[in-house]
Amino acid sequence: MIKQPTLAATSSSTAALPPNPAPAAARMKPSIWGVRLKRTVISILPYLVLVALWQLIAATQPAYVFPPLGEILKTIGLLHEEGLLIPATLATSQSVAIGAVISLIFGTLVGFALARLESFTGPILNFVQTVPYVVWALMALIWFGLTPFSVVFTIVVAAFPIVSFNVAAGLKNVDNLLLGMSQSVRANRVMVLRHIVFPSLTPYLLSASRTMLGMCWKISVLAELFAGGAGGGGVGYKLFVGWEFSRPQEVFAWTLWLVLLMMLSEWLVIKPIEAIATRWKKA
């Protein structure tokens, strides 16, 4: 708890770094700012390369085939001015948030079942995973109609097995020595779950959540595309409309926007949870 300010400082330093560290201090010794600057450069490097590559290809292609980033950002701005951006974002975010929470809870429960009764749960889970996501999206429409619920259903079906497999793997790695200790103090099941099993699962749940959240965003687009305007009019639907009316710049704009949303959800949701859950390691 004492360390929290330092933690916050480390994570924010990547965003707000002075471009010129005090030169005198820098010359004296490799200062903390020097180290942080190096780390920041390394962390933005892949994005710089991506942007450079994109612009390079865009320069050799007509804008309707491969628009430059400036054009795409301008289109995003236009979509916002038309009042389309925010409602679509909210609709998709809502589906993703509901889908992710259900996937996490349901996936964890199935993960426990998988660890306990692998011969029963394993084949069912494999079946769910083998059916292509597109088919699930279509099935959802047949079963639940053109509703936002169809979108959430498709997201959950695609995302929860990721959590289940990770939880099952985590349960196999719970420290037997700690379980023996809990037996020696006659711990009841709830105490063992709360103080030994769930803390052991934390790294598995975190890595699963990261992959699972990305999956939720991707599948939401697919599901919304099929569900049409009735599916809540999210980003996926708008993307489809852009495609239907031959407006490639809109397709690119919605895609880039979606990628930004995915990254944002990682920074705003997963990273803070991770920082809280692994606080004890840095104490």
Partner 1 sequence: MSSIEISQLTKIFDTATGPLMVVDDVSFNVKDGEFVCLLGPSGSGKSVTLNCIAGLLSETKGEVKVGGVPVTQKKPHYGYVFQQPRLMPWRTVQENLRFALRAESGRAVPDEDERLRKVLELVNLSGYEDFYPHQISGGMQHRVGIARAYIRNPDLLLMDEPFGALDEITARRLRSELVAAWMKDRRTVVFVTHDIVEACYLADRIVVYTPKPTRIAQIIEINLPHPRAYGSPEMHAIETEVLSAFERSISQFAEAD
Contact set with partner 1 (CB under 8 A): 177-178, 180-188, 190-191, 195-196, 199, 202, 280-281, 283
CB of 278 to partner 1, least distance (A): 9
CB of 201 to partner 1, least distance (A): 11
Contacts of 113 (CB under 8 A, 6+ apart): 120, 121
Give 38-47's long-range contacts (Cβ < 8 A, gap of 24+). 39/14, 40/13, 40/14, 43/14
- How far apart (Å, rounded) are the C-alpha atoms in residues 276 and 254? 33
CB of 119 to partner 1, least distance (A): 21
Give the tokens for residue 106: 């349901």
CB of 2 to partner 1, least distance (A): 10
CB of 225 to partner 1, least distance (A): 43
Query: Toward partner 1, which CB reaches closer, 29 or 281?
Result: 281
HSE (CB half, 13 Å, CA atoms) of 201? 25
- How far apart (Å, rounded) are the C-alpha atoms in residues 128 and 138? 14
HEC string for 194-225: HHHHHHHHHHHHHHHHHHHHHHHHHHHHHHHH
Query: Toward partner 1, which CB reaches closer, 4 or 61?
Result: 4
CB of 85 to partner 1, least distance (A): 42
Query: Toward partner 1, which CB reaches closer, 27 or 281?
Result: 281
Query: Toward partner 1, which CB reaches closer, 109 or 178?
Result: 178
Query: Toward partner 1, which CB reaches closer, 110 or 167?
Result: 167
Query: Toward partner 1, which CB reaches closer, 2 or 42?
Result: 2
Query: Toward partner 1, which CB reaches closer, 176 or 246?
Result: 176
CB of 173 to partner 1, least distance (A): 14
